[in-house]
């Protein structure tokens, strides 16, 4: 079983992914953590020293590396990963099942404001600026996210509930 979780920042990709991996007894991989380990550098450092184009290229290379791996896994992508380098085609043409964790703007904004300091993309924004930022980003990314094979809504649900819902569908799949 190879599962790829995608969605916007704060949609729960890592938290839900870890829960799913534990209950399904398979490994969990966070693509950003994988890149950090391989590059021996933080995502922020890669962006500032080598630029976004370099980052998107290596992100694609490491995504392919993970997808080509024979082992079972739950993979949490970065929020932007599906939008670059034909990554959605790569995912959907692989043996993995892609799942979009879909949240509406108010849900995502509420979660981002709570953990703003840990989110470099929004850390410098005021709380009042975040809704417009999220709405614009989500509008730009939705077409990529919606190419996922499955979509699970996360609004008004705990991460535990979403993980159980996904697990139930996967076991029937």
Domain coordinates in residue numbering, the chain: 2-167
Higher pLDDT, 117 or 53: 53
State how far the alpha carbon of 17 is from the alpha carbons of 25, 69, 126, 164, in Å.
12, 18, 29, 11
Residue 22 phi/psi, 5° resolution? -65, -50
Q: What is the mean pLDDT of residues 4-15?
A: 97
- Residue 104: Cβ-neighbour burial (10 angstroms; 0-12, 13-18, 19+): middle
In tens, the pLDDT along 72-81 reads 999 999 999 9
Residue 120 pLDDT:
79
* pLDDT category of residue 24 using cuts at 50, 70 and 90: very high
**Nearest Cα residue to 98 out of 36, 40, 166, 39:** 166
- Are the beta carbons of 19 and 163 closer than 8 angstroms? yes
For 2-167, CATH gives 3.40.50.300
Tell me the C-alpha distance between 114 and 144, whole Å. Answer: 26
- What is the pLDDT of the chain when averaged over all its residues? 95
């Amino acid at each position: 079983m190879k599962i790829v979780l995608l969605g916007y920042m704060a949609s729960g990709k890592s938290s839900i992914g870890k829960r799913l991996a534990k209950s399904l007894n398979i490994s969990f991989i966070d693509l950003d953590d994988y890149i950090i380990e391989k590059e021996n550098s933080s995502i922020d450092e890669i962006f500032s020293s080598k630029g976004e184009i370099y980052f998107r290229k290596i992100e694609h290379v490491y995504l392919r590396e993970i997808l080509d791996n024979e082992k079972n896994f739950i993979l949490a992508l970065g929020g932007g990963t599906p939008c670059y380098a034909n990554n959605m085609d790569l995912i959907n043409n692989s043996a993995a099942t892609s799942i979009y964790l879909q949240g509406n703007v108010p849900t995502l904004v509420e979660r981002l404001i709570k953990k703003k300091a840990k989110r470099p993309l929004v850390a410098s924004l005021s709380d009042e600026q975040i809704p417009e930022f999220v709405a614009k980003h989500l509008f730009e990314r939705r077409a990529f996210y919606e190419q996922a094979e499955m979509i699970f809504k996360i609004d008004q649900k705990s991460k535990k509930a979403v993980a159980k819902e996904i697990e139930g569908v996967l076991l029937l799949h």
